[in-house]
Amino acid sequence: MVPTNYYLILSAILFGLGIVAFVFKRNIIAIFMAIELMLNAVNLAFVAFSQSLGKVDGEVFVLFVIVVAAAEAAVGLGIIILTARTRRSLNVERADLLKL
């Protein structure tokens, strides 16, 4: 029996680390991975609440979040390939113009 609060606090810590990675990393792929880390932290909170309240709805939501994350990864990595091709760099600070 693990108290639900432990899971929620772990989820908060992982979300905070995701924010740190999002702000710190300069590589566009690493920033995208930070977003995935934050989504995972939210999923952990969903499952913890679902188990704590004895309802399955939270787990269904986790499945939807995973589907959206997969769709987001497909589109996002397409955009990353496009920016890397036009700007010849993966550094986000080189991508400061809307139109080349």
Partner 1 sequence: MSPAVAIFFVLAALAVFGSISLIIQREPIHSALSLIVVMVALAGLYLLMGAEFVAAVQIIVYGGAIMVLFVFVIMLLNAGEEERTNFSRLATFAGIPLALAVTGFIAAAIARSSGALPAAATSGALTDTKTLSTLLFSDFVYPFELTSFLILVAILGAIVLAQREN
Question: In 4-81, where do the E strands start and end?
Answer: none
Tell whether residue 4 is a contact of partner 1 (CB under 8 A): yes
Taking CA atoms, 85 is separated from 78, 88, 95, in Å, by 11, 5, 12
Element (H, E) at 71: helix 57-87
Instruction: Point out which residues pair with 91 in neighbouring strands.
Output: 27
| Min CB(44)–partner 1 separation in Å | 6
Residues numbered 55-94 forming contacts with partner 1, rule: CB under 8 A = 56-57, 59-60, 62-64, 66-75, 77-82, 84, 90-91, 93
The residue (of 93 and 100) whose beta carbon lies closer to partner 1 is 93
Coil, strand or helix at 33: helix
Note the residues at the interface with partner 1 (CB under 8 A): 1-10, 12-21, 23-27, 29-30, 32-34, 36-37, 40, 43-44, 47-48, 50-54, 56-57, 59-60, 62-64, 66-75, 77-82, 84, 90-91, 93
